[in-house]
Chains A and B, each alone.
Chain A
Amino acid sequence: MEEKKSNKISRRDTLKALVTLPVLGYFANRFYVKYENDLSSSDFTRMKLEVADTSIQIPAAGYSSKGKQIRLGIVGNGFRGPQVLRSLGFAEKEWSEDKIKNGVPGPRLQSFLDQEDLNIVITGVCDTFSQRAEEAADIVSSPFRSGGAKQLNRPKIYANYREMLADDNLDAVVILTPDHWHAKMAIDAARAGKHVYLEKPMCQTAEEAKLLRDVTLETGIILQVGHQNRQQASYIMAKEIIDKGVIGPVSLVETYTNRNNDHGAWIRGIPKNANASNINWKEFLGDKAWREMDLDRYFNWQKWFEYGTGPAGNQFTHEFDCVNQVMDLGIPKRVIASGGNYYFNDPRDIPDVFNAIFEYPDRGMSLTYDCTLRNSRLRDKTFLGKDASMEVNVGVAVFPDSQSEKYKKYELESDTPLYTYHPKSDAVDAVTSATAKYYHDRGFGYTYHNGKKLDATYLHVKEWLYCIRQGIQPSCNVNRGFEETTTFYMSNLAYLEKRVVEWDAENEKII
């Protein structure tokens, strides 16, 4: 089409210049309508219920590791060892190299490398299986460090934890041993003036937990129990929802464990080269009854109440610590439990089907726990309130109650969430997150800070180290550990003794 050359603007020219302007008018109209519509649907809760925005901040992510370098000893390097070492900033060479493709680190390795340097040095390691002590030393002296930290010299391998504690060359210990050693080691460490990071459950029994609590408070050391879900963004969100009364008074909280494989039933295998020459069996047994060396008991110790704590100590404690941080529940008044060992016919004495009810009459509610090791359906922790129900895992979803007076006026549907928090969609674009669907992944390993995916255990050890430097108490301190151990221990007693177990809060005694 020919355009005439002229320096005079005709009406036709003006029309051609302005022809697309009405599009803006149409856009403005549609934009307004959509904005109003979004306010009344997806942003409903945020606006009406005053729930905070989805960009959750986890305090530990902002803690500085500046100051004194902390010298750590690692006690025990079993299944959990390499994982916690990665959280501390040390990764196995093979694990790391396996994740490099064409010279580019894969997402998991990159996420490890991106972790901040925690300003620590690992001076010693020990394990009753000498090969695992060597492996821990290999990891500590591996070139793969997070936050650009420099490679460490090979740490000293101690014959046992007592020799390690006697050494002035360390400030704190990370205890990753079987449960029956937790209390004794942590108490010895506290008395030696060493700070303690202790894998969950804190202790095997309520008596041990009470003693450890008293010794910890008396010596003033900083103890953190390894419930890394204290750093879980969704739990922070869940707490805010409860505190703001969004779901109303809570009458029941349901918690679950469903697993359906050998690993989930604590059959973890026996290394081929393990034998009496490289395992210190006597040290493993500790004060437990003497018996001849049994590699099944040594490597798969969770299967026996003697060394482990059953589903209650292993799994329920995770669930309990979530509910305890969301609702500050503390120790229940009464506990009943039942179950049995029906499906796993190997040597073991812990149940594979286990149910417990924890009563909190002062709070007008009960907490239930259901566990089966022969089904893997995911069941969310659910908080049942008068006005709404809240499902919590790595995400949060709040469903209005059809009988709730509070929500009746909004004409909400009870199968459509009133509010959802889902970190993964958040990580891509905060704008779309309000309508993003709720994901049901359990996500024990990772949490989300400001939309950034982080290893929860990394934040948990980071918080512990920060508290040591500042001389303050961490989120999962010995008081929380005392509540955790006493609560699960009551359910184990109820199961084993087939009776109602009560808690005398005044005298801090089980009756």
Chain B
Amino acid sequence: MKNVNYTSWQIAALVILRVLIGWHFLYEGLVKVINPAWSAASFLNAAQGPFANLFKSMASNAATLDVINFCNQWGLVLVGLSLIVGLLSRWACIGGMALLFMYYISNPPFIGLDAIAVAEGSYLIVNKNLIELFTLFVLFLFPTGEIIGLDRLLAFAKLAK
């Protein structure tokens, strides 16, 4: 078990933040899992910016698209579960950051690109994906799974070896 020096308020704030982000991921994931018609195709086809062609080519190949759909929906679910219960939570942060990074660069709010049709706000370079991505980075650097979470039991298991 690591030596950490958080105050209990700091722990509470970090754990709540972790659970909230986990909740967001879990819901985004499950909503796609239960909808048989869901596919990343339309999202990928709407890609803009420097990597637009890469994302569009992903959508054009049925086999690739199946893999992407699977990884995206179950990736979201796993990251969400992991953050909520605090199991392998640092890995979850990395996974979540990777997903958010893809969402961000597929449709970046750069100057000169069209705002996506139903974006619910106005953005310049910084959007919610980018903020959530860096929030996960903070959680990665200030882990709490071993204090409040199943990682605590995992740490004991390791110690016992």
Contacts and interface: CB of A to CB of B under 8 A. Distances in A.
Interface string B109-134: 00011101111000000000000000
A385 interface: no
A424 B115 CA distance: 12
B139 interface: no
Given A55-B42, A424-B117, A17 B84 contact: no
B100 to A, nearest CB: 15
A27 B117 contact: no
Contact of B43 (A9, A19, A429, A436): A429
A3 B159 CA distance: 14
Contacts of B99: none
A345 interface: no
Contact of B46 (A19, A20, A428): A428
Chain B contact-residue range equals 35 or more
Contacts of A428: 42-43, 46, 116-119
A450 B45 contact: yes
Interface stretch (A99-107, A240-248, A266-274): A99-107
Contacts of A219: none
Given A3-B1, A18-B150, A110 B117 contact: no
Contact of B26 (A2, A18, A20, A27): A27
Nearest to A4: B1
B1 A20 contact: no
A14 B153 CA distance: 7
Contact of A101 (B32, B112, B156): B112
Contact of A20 (B19, B50, B117): B19
B86 interface: yes
A17 B39 contact: no
A31 to B, nearest CB: 6
Given A1-B5, A428-B118, A17 B43 contact: no
A258 to B, nearest CB: 25
B85 interface: yes
Contacts of A11: none
A431 B30 contact: no
Nearest to B28: A431
A451 interface: yes
List 8 tightest A-B contacts by C-beta distance, closest first.
Answer: A451-B42, A452-B45, A17-B152, A424-B117, A53-B37, A7-B159, A17-B153, A427-B46
Interface of B: 1-8, 11, 15, 19, 22-23, 26-27, 30-32, 34-35, 37-39, 41-43, 45-46, 48, 50, 52, 56, 59, 81, 84-86, 112-114, 116-119, 147-153, 156, 159-160
